[in-house]
Structure 1
Amino acid sequence: MFKELEKSVILFTSLALICGVAYPLTMNAIGNSAFTPEAKGSLVYEGKTPIASTLIAQNFTQPQYFHPRPSMAGSDGYDGASSSGSNLGYTSQKLHDAVKERVEAYRSENNLSISEKVPMDAVTASASGLDPHISVANATIQAKRVAASRGIDESKVMDALHKNAQKGYWGIIGEEKVNVVTLNLTLDREFGKVKI
């Protein structure tokens, strides 16, 4: 019996050291050396102060900025500590009402007519509520408002948009998208921050 117990203790200790110590330390070392920005949260700094992460949506609401997808994470949305969707199903009247309200707000802020289609990602939240990307179609519609609010030519905003566009994975999986945080920071760097 003691021989079996001894084998069990040796096996448990070995697996605990391999899976609980060696593997995490190895993955941490690889991550920090090969993927340094990502391992540190893909933070964006202003001087030495972190101001955003390119992995988490920020709630840009001013007209001179591109707006992210709606968020249901936390009570006011965009809360990294409360990542989640709304959990409302397709048949939910509450979801239909929320989307209808968002469509009207999107049309109003971007001067769209009632017949113009609104991109799906402009009025629905992602599963995490923190997706920092929007579709190129969504960004293209917002470009006119952003350009007018910044007092610059729309073609300059479109150039910044296309510079920040990301292809689908391996060029075939998913659609082209734009990271809203990166795009808005690019606009601030190239054209300055707009004071309200």
Structure 2
Amino acid sequence: MNARTLTSTSWFSALRLAVVLMLLCGGLYPLISTLLGQTLFPEQARGSLVYLNGEAVGSQLAAQPFSEPRYFHPRPSAADYDPTGVSGSNLAPSNPELRERVTRDAAALSRQENVPVEKLPVDLVTASGSGIDPHISPEAAALQAPRVATARGLALEQVKQSIASHTRAPFLGVFGPTYVNVLTLNLALDAAEATNP
């Protein structure tokens, strides 16, 4: 067997391997994983969309920029709440720009919620790694409850009960923090307000 035959045999072997891997990894594997996802986790596979009157109003996986006083506000977003451009700020805690923004946001939030800066939960002044984290801590929700209750004309206890019913424990009781989904909480309050004008 000469060198030319060996080279052409190697090329054909490499080409066959490339085609087989392309079919397996680029076709069969995505097809099977998509079908399994759609079958086992249909809601998550479709983006965990939240519907209101048959229309998608958001996703349980992406924050929205609620800013009206009657709504609970999410964490700050380094991505301007754009789910197609998720990103953290990538600024270190020692970065002067980050310190300035946090100090400015904390002062504004302190005035808005009428509490000292020291009482602010850290998640209300810091962005998440993705920039679109839809959750806040129960402490962050509790801090906003008086403002939301006043703006909606609801009893504070009713708003607190709504927070409690939308508080979720860590996955399997271990993974991640206890959290409140801002979108579903705000929609529940809208629904409660509509049924009890």
**Would you say same fold, with TM above 0.5?**
yes
Cα distance in structure 1, aligned partners of 2:78 and 2:191: 30
Deviation per residue, 1:114-154 (Å, 9 max, x gap): 37511000001111110000001110111111111111111
> How far apart are the structure 1 equivalents of 2:121 and 2:97?
20
Q: 1:60-119: per-residue Cα shift (whole Å, max 9, x none)?
A: 00111100000110xxx111222112222111111111111111111111111x375110
Q: How many residues align?
A: 191
Is the 8 Å Cα contact of residues 87 and 130 (structure 2) preserved in structure 1? yes
Unaligned runs of 5+ in 2: 1-5
Q: Which of 149, 168, 171 in structure 2 is aligned with 1:169? A: 171
**CA RMSD in angstroms, aligned pairs only:** 1.9
1:21 aligns with 2:23: no
**Structure 1 spans left out of the alignment, 5+ residues:** none
**Offset at 1:162?**
1.0
> Is 2:76–2:125's contact at 8 Å kept on the other side of the alignment?
yes
Partner Cα distance (2:52, 2:9) in 1: 61
> Helix, strand or coil for the counterpart of 1:44?
strand
CA distance in 2, matches of 1:115, 1:65: 21
Residue 48 of structure 2 corresponds to 42
What is the alpha-carbon distance in structure 2 between the residues aligned to residue 163 and residue 48 of structure 1? 23
Residue 106 (str. 1) matches residue 109 (str. 2): yes
Judged with a 3 Å threshold, the aligned counterparts in structure 2 of structure 1 residues 32 and 115 are, in CA distance, closer, same or farther, namely: closer
Q: Using the TM superposition, give the Cα deviation of residue 52 of structure 1 relative to its aligned residue in structure 2, in angstroms.
A: 0.8
- Structure 1 equivalent of residue 131 of structure 2: 129
* Percentage of identical aligned residues: 40
1:67 maps to which residue? 73
Q: Secondary structure at the match of 1:96?
A: helix
Larger relative helix fraction: 2
> Residues 87 and 116 (structure 1 numbering): CA distance in 2 closer, same or farther, change over 3 Å?
closer
> Which residue, out of 122, 142, 159, partners 1:157?
159
**Higher Cα Rg, which structure:** 2
Query: Which moved further from structure 2: 90-99 or 57-66?
Result: 90-99
Query: One-letter code of the match for 2:140?
Result: N
